[in-house]
Amino acid sequence: MQPVGQWINLHARQRPAKTAIVDDRRRLTYAELDRETDALAAAFAARGVRAGDRIGILSGASVEWVMVYLSIVKLGAIATALNYRETPDRLVAMMQSVGVSLLFTDTGSRAALSGFSGLPEIIELSRASLDDLTSRHTEQHAFDLVKPTDGNVILFTGGTTGVSKGVLLSHANLFWNVINEALATRITEWDTTLLGTALHHSAALNTWLLPHLYLGGTAVILREFTADAWIDMVQRERVTNGFTPPTMARQVVKHPNAGKADWRHFRRWYSGAGILPRHEREEMEALNPGLGIYYQYGLTEAGPIVTVLQPEDYDLAPGSIGRAVRNCEIRMLREDRTDAPPDTVGEIAVRGPAVMSGYFNRPEETARVFHDGWLLTGDLGVMDANGFITFHDRSKDMIKTGGLNVYSQEVEHVLAKHPAVREVAVIGTQDDHWGEMVTAVITLHDGMSADENDLISFARKDLGGYQTPKRILFMSYDELPKNYLGKILKRELRTKVDS
């Protein structure tokens, strides 16, 4: 098992002229990428960076982001990927929580951090800055000093009630996640993938960038997602696969250029982190008959990939998140930590070589999310006799009304079938009589209409009385609190609704 840096060195020898990474401003072959990142690693070492040091990256996606990441991990240091959309005070707290000693950041983020104390040394993350560093260092790096068990990256997760937790993943964790993803979604060295989401997130970095670099494929990087730019890059680079959460997929499919584009080379479309109803899958498939849609579920602590619903399995379990990937075990646990029988709600627990070693410097919080070696995801679901899992809810998002449990995704799946509904989020709001009231927040498609009575009547056809929303609220797409994947943030949504 090789550490990540050696993957690039291998391809530089075997396929030196093949394009490794591309964005809208530059492209690098494997030979160029290996040479440039070797020189950067040497430059970092000359500045005192040592194995195990935490080096921050705070910027939007770019070729330079990837170069800095690879240089850090070639040296045996730990890349600390930071969300450039976070507030400055939270960013400072995250860096301090893991001990970042050097930070690469763009000019906008650097300006936002000005005035804060306790910051690490800062280097501008730009082509000019990196070229200046590499011009003075051309020596080869000693890869054999990096072991598969060494830390590779820290990715932040959670933090809605405090400082986000830093998930530590090793080179070995990332290798096994790559193997799981490549096997489950059929990635090959001949693929060109399009990364349309931020690289500080485990989906883009661990699940699409790294598998393609491991296999010797090509990764195309979109600095900022828009449907127009995504479609244009698919055409320009003859992209063969790509990931979009359902919110982004809807924007692509509805864009006027989608129907004019040539999709014949685009063979696999990956999605997750949201509800993807059948009619929207069919709209995606209509762009290229024979297109395979792979729905995936995971969490950063697991590497992240846990399950995949392959296109051949969709009709067997159309509402599910699929089955466990090859090197991942799943159990469904009841509250007493015994196994839930098939078709009974339980907490999803996972085990495998891609699962994190723990939260960095947080042993107590790490201990709380493990039970006898199994990672407790906090997600509720049902596994059938064939291993297909239907996701029900985050345990903290389950609605308790009149003594009964309502799983928000069951309600969301029903409402998402309504042709006028673009986005839906179901939450519990305070109710003096029932404890919590099932409340649906809806965004309608442009040019379409539906009122509260229409939607409640529509939901009542497929839901029990206690599950049917008692209240419908309408918001525009821009009003919905969302993360960088377009996933609706329910905690923030509850606060907004309550106010």
Residue 363 bridge partners (DSSP): none
pLDDT above 90 for 227: yes
The residue from 195, 222, 249 where one domain ends is 195
391 domain residue, yes or no = no
Secondary structure (DSSP) of 382-395: EE-TTS-EEEEEEG
- Given the DSSP bridges, would you call strands 305-309 and 292-298 parallel, antiparallel or unpaired? antiparallel
Mean pLDDT of 204-210: 96
311 domain residue, yes or no = no
Provide the strand spans (E) within 212-291. Answer: 218-221, 241-243, 268-272
pLDDT band at 374, cuts 50/70/90?
Answer: very high
- Tokens describing residue 178: 């790559």
154 domain residue, yes or no = yes
Range name among 14-18, 47-51, 181-185 with the lowest pLDDT average: 47-51
Helix axes 127-134, 63-74, angle to 10 degrees: 40
Q: How many folded domains does the chain comprise?
A: 2
357 domain residue, yes or no = no
Q: pLDDT tens across 102-138, in order?
A: 999 999 999 999 989 889 999 999 999 999 998 877 6
- Tokens describing residue 180: 């799981």
Amino acid identity for residue 486 in this structure: G
Distance separating the N- and C-terminal Cα atoms of the chain: 53
Residue 360: name the closest of 34, 78, 129 by CA. Answer: 78
pLDDT for the residue numbered 140: 59
pLDDT band at 440, cuts 50/70/90?
Answer: very high
pLDDT for the residue numbered 163: 65
- Given the DSSP bridges, would you call strands 151-157 and 165-170 parallel, antiparallel or unpaired? antiparallel
Mean pLDDT of 8-24: 97
In terms of residue numbers, what domain contains 166?
Answer: 4-195
Tell me what percent of the residues of the chain surpass a pLDDT of 70.
97
Q: Give the chain's mean pLDDT.
A: 92
Quote the CA–CA distance of 13 and 95 in Å, as a whole number: 36
Quote the CA–CA distance of 36 and 129 in Å, as a whole number: 13
26 domain residue, yes or no = yes
CA 49 and chain centroid, separation: 29
Query: Is 198:484 a contact under the CB 8 Å cutoff?
Result: yes
Q: pLDDT tens across 294-311, in order?
A: 999 999 999 999 999 999
- Tokens describing residue 80: 């600390």
Amino acid identity for residue 219 in this structure: A
Quote the CA–CA distance of 268 and 309 in Å, as a whole number: 13
The residue from 180, 195, 210 where one domain ends is 195
Task: Give one word for 434, left, alpha or beta, with left for phi > 0 and alpha for psi -120 to 50.
Answer: alpha
Residue 376 bridge partners (DSSP): 349
Q: Give the three-class secondary structure for 167.
A: strand
pLDDT for the residue numbered 160: 43
- Tokens describing residue 173: 């964790």
Mean pLDDT of 254-270: 96
Quote the CA–CA distance of 143 and 121 in Å, as a whole number: 26
450 domain residue, yes or no = yes
pLDDT above 90 for 397: no
pLDDT for the residue numbered 219: 98
CATH of the domain at 93: 3.40.50.980
pLDDT for the residue numbered 346: 95
pLDDT band at 338, cuts 50/70/90?
Answer: very high
- For the CA atoms of the chain, what is the radius of gyration? 23
pLDDT band at 144, cuts 50/70/90?
Answer: low
Q: Give the three-class secondary structure for 155.
A: strand
The residue from 172, 195, 218 where one domain ends is 195
> Which ranges in 242-336 belong to alpha helices (H)?
246-254, 278-286
386 domain residue, yes or no = no
Mean pLDDT of 4-8: 95
Residue 158: name the closest of 359, 411, 408 by CA. Answer: 359
Quote the CA–CA distance of 187 and 390 in Å, as a whole number: 25
pLDDT for the residue numbered 234: 97
Residue 84: name the closest of 484, 490, 482, 477 by CA. Answer: 484
CB atoms under 10 Å from CB of 185, counted, come to 22
CB atoms under 10 Å from CB of 107, counted, come to 11
CATH of the domain at 493: 3.30.300.30
211 domain residue, yes or no = no
pLDDT for the residue numbered 161: 43
pTM reported for the whole predicted model: 0.88
